[in-house]
Chains A and B, each alone.
Chain A
Amino acid sequence: MLKILVFLPVAGAALVALLPARGQRLWQAAMACAVGALGLALWLAAAFDPAGPAFQMVDSRAWNVRLGSSFALGVDGVSLAMVLLAALLSLVAVLVSRRMTDGARLYFVLVLLLESAMFGVFTARDWSLFYVFWEATLLPLFFLIDRLGGPDRQRAALNFFLYTLGGSVFMLVALLFLYDAAPGHSFAMADMAAGGRGLPRDMQLLIFAGLFIGFGVKMPVFPLHGWLPLAHVEAPSPVSILLSGVLLKMGAYGLIRAAETLPDAFVAAQDGLALLAFASLLYGGILAWRQQDLKAMVAYSSISHMGVVLLGIASLNPVGLTGAVLQMVAHGFGAGLLFLVVGLLYQRTHSRDLADYGALTGVAPRFAFFVAFGLLAASGLPGGAAFVAEVHALLGGYVRWGGWVVLLGVAMLVGAAWALRVVGRLCLPGPGRPLADMTKTESAAAGLLAACIVGLGVWPAPLIDLVAGSVGQVARLFGG
Chain B
Amino acid sequence: MNAVADDLLRLVWLIPVLPLLAVVVTAARVLLGRAQGDAAEGPTARLLSLAAFGSLALLLAIDALALQQGVPGHRILGVWFATDEWQASFSFLLDALSLPVATLAAAIGWLVVRFSANYLHREAGFHRFFMVLGFFLSGLQLVLLAGNGVLAFVGWEMCGVASFLLIGYAWQRPVAIGNALYAFAVNRTGDAGLLFALGLSAAWVGSFEWPALAAAELTLVEARVLLLGFVVAALVKSAQLPFTPWIARALEGPTPSSAIFYGALLVHAGVYLLLRIEPLLAQVPDLMLALVVAGAATAAYAWLCGLVQTDVKSALIFATVFQVGLMFVEIGLGWSTAATVHLVLHAAWRTWHFLLAPSWLAVTRERPAPPPAWLARSQTLYTAALQRFWLDRLAQVLFVQPTESFARDLRRFEEGFVDRALGEPGRGRAVQPERPLVCADGLPGTALAAVAGVLQRVENRLLLRGRGGAAERLLVRAGDWLQTLEGLLEQPRYLMMAVMATFVVIL
Q: Taking beta carbons and an 8 Å cutoff, which residues of A are in contact with B?
A: 155, 159, 162-163, 223, 225-227, 229-230, 283, 286-287, 289-292, 354-355, 414, 417, 421, 425
Q: Are A354 and B437 in contact (CB under 8 A)?
A: yes
CA distance A229 to B455 in the complex (A): 14
Would you call B468 an interface residue if the criterion is a C-beta within 8 Å of the partner chain's C-beta atoms?
no
Q: Return the chain A residue nearest B475 by Cβ.
A: A162
Chain-A contact segment, one of B114-122, B257-265, B458-466: B458-466
Q: Are A355 and B465 in contact (CB under 8 A)?
A: no
Q: Are A223 and B463 in contact (CB under 8 A)?
A: yes
Q: Are B437 and A286 in contact (CB under 8 A)?
A: no
Q: Are B451 and A286 in contact (CB under 8 A)?
A: yes
Ordered by A's residue number, 26 sampled pairs between the chains whose C-beta atoms are within 8 Å are A159-B464, A159-B466, A223-B462, A225-B463, A226-B463, A227-B464, A230-B465, A230-B466, A286-B452, A286-B455, A287-B459, A289-B452, A290-B431, A290-B435, A290-B449, A290-B453, A290-B455, A290-B456, A292-B436, A292-B437, A292-B438, A354-B437, A355-B436, A355-B437, A417-B448, A421-B437
Within 8 Å by CB of B465, from A159, A283, A291, lies: A159
Interface residues of B in 418-443 (CB under 8 A from A): 431, 435-438
Assuming the contacts A355-B436, A414-B448, asked whether A155 and B455 have C-beta atoms less than 8 A apart, the reply is: no
CA distance A226 to B452 in the complex (A): 16
Q: Return the chain A residue nearest B431 by Cβ.
A: A290
CA distance A289 to B453 in the complex (A): 11
CA distance A72 to B88 in the complex (A): 64
Q: Return the chain B residue nearest A418 by Cβ.
A: B438
Assuming the contacts A286-B452, A287-B455, A287-B459, asked whether A226 and B437 have C-beta atoms less than 8 A apart, the reply is: no
On chain B, the residues within 8 Å of A283 by CB distance are 455
Q: Return the chain B residue nearest A297 by Cβ.
A: B438
Q: Return the chain A residue nearest B462 by Cβ.
A: A223
Within 8 Å by CB of B438, from A159, A226, A229, A291, lies: A291
10 A-B pairs with least C-beta separation: A226-B463, A290-B452, A292-B435, A286-B452, A226-B464, A230-B465, A354-B437, A292-B437, A226-B465, A355-B437
Q: Are B431 and A229 in contact (CB under 8 A)?
A: no
Given pairs A223-B462, A226-B463, 5 additional interface contacts (CB within 8 A): A159-B466, A223-B463, A287-B455, A289-B438, A289-B448
Q: Taking beta carbons and an 8 Å cutoff, which residues of B are in contact with A?
A: 431, 435-438, 448-449, 451-453, 455-456, 459, 462-466
On chain B, the residues within 8 Å of A421 by CB distance are 437-438
CA distance A290 to B435 in the complex (A): 9
On chain A, the residues within 8 Å of B462 by CB distance are 223
Q: Are B465 and A290 in contact (CB under 8 A)?
A: no
Q: Are A425 and B437 in contact (CB under 8 A)?
A: yes
Measured CB to CB, the closest approach of chain B to A244, in angstroms, equals 17
CA distance A435 to B466 in the complex (A): 33
CA distance A227 to B435 in the complex (A): 23
On chain B, the residues within 8 Å of A225 by CB distance are 463
CA distance A162 to B472 in the complex (A): 13
Measured CB to CB, the closest approach of chain B to A410, in angstroms, equals 10
On chain B, the residues within 8 Å of A354 by CB distance are 437
Within 8 Å by CB of A155, from B431, B456, B459, B466, lies: B466
Measured CB to CB, the closest approach of chain B to A328, in angstroms, equals 25
Measured CB to CB, the closest approach of chain A to B32, in angstroms, equals 28
On chain B, the residues within 8 Å of A229 by CB distance are 459, 465
On chain A, the residues within 8 Å of B449 by CB distance are 290
CA distance A183 to B451 in the complex (A): 49
Q: Return the chain A residue nearest B449 by Cβ.
A: A290
CA distance A283 to B456 in the complex (A): 9
Measured CB to CB, the closest approach of chain A to B59, in angstroms, equals 46
CA distance A111 to B189 in the complex (A): 71
Q: Are B438 and A290 in contact (CB under 8 A)?
A: yes
Among B436, B438, B466, the one with the most A-chain Cβ atoms within 10 Å of its Cβ is: B438
CA distance A225 to B464 in the complex (A): 10
On chain A, the residues within 8 Å of B456 by CB distance are 287, 290
On chain A, the residues within 8 Å of B438 by CB distance are 289-292, 421
Q: Return the chain A residue nearest B426 by Cβ.
A: A424
On chain B, the residues within 8 Å of A159 by CB distance are 464-466
Measured CB to CB, the closest approach of chain B to A133, in angstroms, equals 26
Q: Are B448 and A286 in contact (CB under 8 A)?
A: yes
Measured CB to CB, the closest approach of chain A to B461, in angstroms, equals 11
On chain A, the residues within 8 Å of B453 by CB distance are 290
Q: Return the chain A residue nearest B452 by Cβ.
A: A290
CA distance A78 to B449 in the complex (A): 39
On chain A, the residues within 8 Å of B466 by CB distance are 155, 159, 230
Measured CB to CB, the closest approach of chain A to B468, in angstroms, equals 13
On chain B, the residues within 8 Å of A163 by CB distance are 464
Measured CB to CB, the closest approach of chain A to B137, in angstroms, equals 39
CA distance A227 to B437 in the complex (A): 26
CA distance A287 to B458 in the complex (A): 11
Measured CB to CB, the closest approach of chain A to B380, in angstroms, equals 64
Measured CB to CB, the closest approach of chain B to A11, in angstroms, equals 38
CA distance A56 to B448 in the complex (A): 49
CA distance A9 to B449 in the complex (A): 46
